[in-house]
Amino acid sequence: MNPDPILDDHSNNERQSHQRRSAFISPLMVYLISIIGSAVAMGIPMAIGWSKAYLLSHLYVVGTLAQGLMDLPAVVMFARTRIDSKWRGRTHDHVISMGAGLACAAILAGTKIALSGQLVFMGGVPAFIQSLTLAWPWNVISASLAVLAYGPGEAIFVVYLIAAFDNAVGNQNPLFSWGVVITALLWGLPHIANIFFFGWSALTNALFMVVVGSALGLLFKGTRSSLGSMVFWTLVNGTTA
């Protein structure tokens, strides 16, 4: 008996739909675990009685830990899963990507200098600035951890989510895609919590993060390598605040 092609098509469509729904689970779980982990790291000190002022003065420990916990699940998944294999690129892809990241950072730096007359590396990241005031060698250790957490770690967080969401929706557009849109929005969302520390001006920062998240995605997908995004964000994070 010949199989019914209509039933086969229906079955295939159901399988594809199920696979796509399942593919959404990993990036969503990574995102939720990341947010919960960073929230716990910031919430525990407050729960045991740390004041807002004391917490702000110790962001070189608490803030870096929270950011590290936010980055870690995505870093682990990016390293372990095959979803990013097609984005690891070849040697010339990495070279082009790093060059593009440096060029974009230089353009943004030039714009910042033209508008404000100043540019301070990681100047808008309190954890990094606080680290520099510590005694040797803790200043170098703490500052290095802050750079890793707020630089490459954040970039990998964005890159993994973009690749994972693109895989989930079956959208492999070479540049702008649903993965970029979803990730940019999700990346900007947690920054709204900064209202508690820095006031309503944090809303502007959250919107800016959506724009930067899109830029990181375009740089990542356009060069087929994550290195450009890591270089770019490490150099500009905190310099555009």
Report which residue type is found at 171: N
Whether residue 206 is predicted with pLDDT greater than 70 in this model: the reply is yes
Give the closest residue to 216 by CA, choosing from 180, 192, 186: 180
Which positions ≥6 away from 225 have C-beta within 8 Å?
A: 87, 88, 89, 93, 94, 96, 97, 98
Total number of domains constituting the chain: 1
pLDDT of residue 230: 95
Percent of the chain with pLDDT over 90: 51
CB count in 10 Å sphere of residue 59: 22
Report the predicted TM-score, pTM, of the whole model to 2 decimal places. Answer: 0.86
| Cβ-based neighbour number of residue 3 at 10 Å | 8
The maximal CA–CA distance of the chain, rounded, in angstroms, is 81
For the packed helices 227-236 and 202-223, what is the interaxial angle rounded to 10 degrees?
A: 150
134 lies in some domain: yes
241 in a structural domain:
no
In this predicted structure, the answer to whether residue 111 has a pLDDT above a threshold of 50 is yes
DSSP 67: H
Those residues with Cβ within 8 angstroms of residue 34's Cβ, 6 or more apart along the chain or in another chain: 69, 70, 71, 72, 73, 74, 157
Give a yes or no: residue 44 inside a domain: yes
As a three-state string, the secondary structure of 175-241 is CCCHHHHHHHHHHHHHHHHHHHHHCCCHHHHHHHHHHHHHHHHHHHHHHCCCHHHHHHHHHHCCCCC
**Residue-wise pLDDT tens digits, 66-87:** 999 999 999 999 887 755 455 5
HSE of 4 in the Cβ direction (CA atoms, 13 Å)?
4
Q: Which of 12-21, 110-119, 194-203 has the lowest mean pLDDT?
A: 12-21
Which pLDDT value is given to residue 17? Answer: 59
Residue 215 inside a domain? The answer is: yes
Torsion, CA 181, CA 212, CA 74, CA 125, rounded to 10: -150
Residue, of 165 and 171, whose pLDDT is higher: 165
- Res 174: pLDDT: 73
Tell me whether residue 12 is exposed, middle or buried, using C-beta atoms within 10 angstroms of its C-beta: 0 to 12, 13 to 18, 19 or more.
Answer: exposed
Q: Which domain holds residue 55?
A: 5-236
pLDDT band per the 50, 70, 90 thresholds, residue 10: very low
